[in-house]
Amino acid sequence: MLVSRYSTRKWPVLDHAVRWGRSQCLLWLPYVLFFVPVTLRFFVLVVLEAVYNLYLFFFTLPQSLQPIISEGYSEGDAIVTGGTSGIGKEIARALILAGYHVHLPVRDMAKGRKVAEELGVKAVTLYQCNLSSIPEVLAFIAAFKSTHKQLELLVNGLESHMAIHVLGTFLLTTGLASILHGGRVVNVSSSVYYIVSHFDLRAFCDRSQFSRQGGYSNAKYAQTLLSMQLALDLREHDITVNCVHPGMVNTDIIRSDTLGKVVLRGIVNTIAPFIMLTPKQGALTPVWAALSSECDNVTGRFFSDLQEEPLSGKIFHDLEHGYGKALFVHCENLVKKASNR
């Protein structure tokens, strides 16, 4: 199992015990809380993950991205979605420091220009693109490929619990695959996918579900399942696809209606500044997965806190029984329908 050299363990025995305890919680949580509403399961996981990640960043993980940035210096091109706020913006900032020219598809160009000025106008190219619109994503892909013959890095860092963005991950990865040879795809996901005890592919793939909130945990489960399928399909093209859990980060997605209940949302909003990570801290593992030589030729993995995290047995089960391929085919059909309009 891959563990980064950047992860320093001051107390190896304690660290092993804490990580083992967390992994057991993730594995058994869906079964122990099977009869508990998903909303409450989500809240329990938020608290457990927040405490765990604070432990990591105080005692185990490096406090700076600089060593990773220095190692991964490149003058190539990178596309980052969600790059105007939160974790996505911090990932874009780190990639620019590592020498990349960063391309940001943004819905709000005014906001995008402000971010470009903050990060460095010469190192950023903006594209008008609503990632929830299939035609706009296809137009962005065509525009980028018309001016670039090679893409080194694709980071799907958009923070959203909208099911449509699972399709966005599919669109960008498959649409850019022809110029991604030898490159990396990093999908920012979340360990909350562990709380999904039953994933109804037919309900999730219903066209209407792609225009509404599909549920954060279900969306992240689908994203992880699709990422593992893409890793299998793109391996022969020398393209690596991995998922990362950035930790429980205090961003807009946490402060939104993710939990679905006003009371629980109020609790999270109150405690978030004290127990959750900053976007810069949350960018640590995604940047490591994007830049570090430790991840060379590594594909189909799920990373958390600078190390590989075992995938849930349900992911392996669904891949083995063809659900990953079924999700891939459904996304493909949606794109074809949109293209023929």
DSSP string across 286-301: HHHHHH-GGGTT--S-
Residue among 130, 181, 126, 182 at smallest CA distance from 158: 130
pLDDT number for residue 212? 44
Beta strands in the chain (DSSP E): 77-81, 101-106, 124-128, 153-156, 184-188, 240-245, 302-304, 307-308
pLDDT digits (tens, 9 = 90+) for 206-265: 555 554 444 677 888 899 999 999 999 999 999 999 999 988 776 655 545 444 455 555
pLDDT number for residue 8? 62
C-alpha 170/C-alpha 229 separation (Å) is: 10
Question: Residue 212, SS3?
Answer: coil
Mean per-residue pLDDT over the chain, rounded: 82
* Main-chain phi, psi angles of 5, to 5 degrees: -70, -15
Eight-state DSSP code of residue 213: B
Decide if pLDDT at 160 tops 50: yes
Instruction: Give the residue carrying structure tokens 């393209």.
Output: 239
CA distances to 91, 157, 167 from 171, in Å: 21, 14, 6
Per the document, the length of the chain is 341
C-alpha 107/C-alpha 162 separation (Å) is: 15
Determine whether 312 is exposed, middle or buried from the number of CB atoms within 10 Å of its CB (0-12, 13-18, 19+): buried
Q: What is the CATH number of domain 12-339?
A: 3.40.50.720
What's the pTM value of the predicted model, to 2 decimals?
A: 0.85
pLDDT number for residue 22? 76
Decide if pLDDT at 12 tops 60: yes
Q: Do the beta carbons of residue 28 and residue 48 sit within 8 Å?
A: no
pLDDT number for residue 260? 47
Q: Do the beta carbons of residue 145 and residue 79 sit within 8 Å?
A: no
pLDDT band at 77 (very low <50, low <70, confident <90, very high): very high
Percent of the chain with pLDDT over 70: 77
Q: Do the beta carbons of residue 251 and residue 216 sit within 8 Å?
A: no
Non-local (6+) Cβ contacts of 199 within 8 A are 218, 221, 222, 225, 314, 318, 323
pLDDT number for residue 340? 72
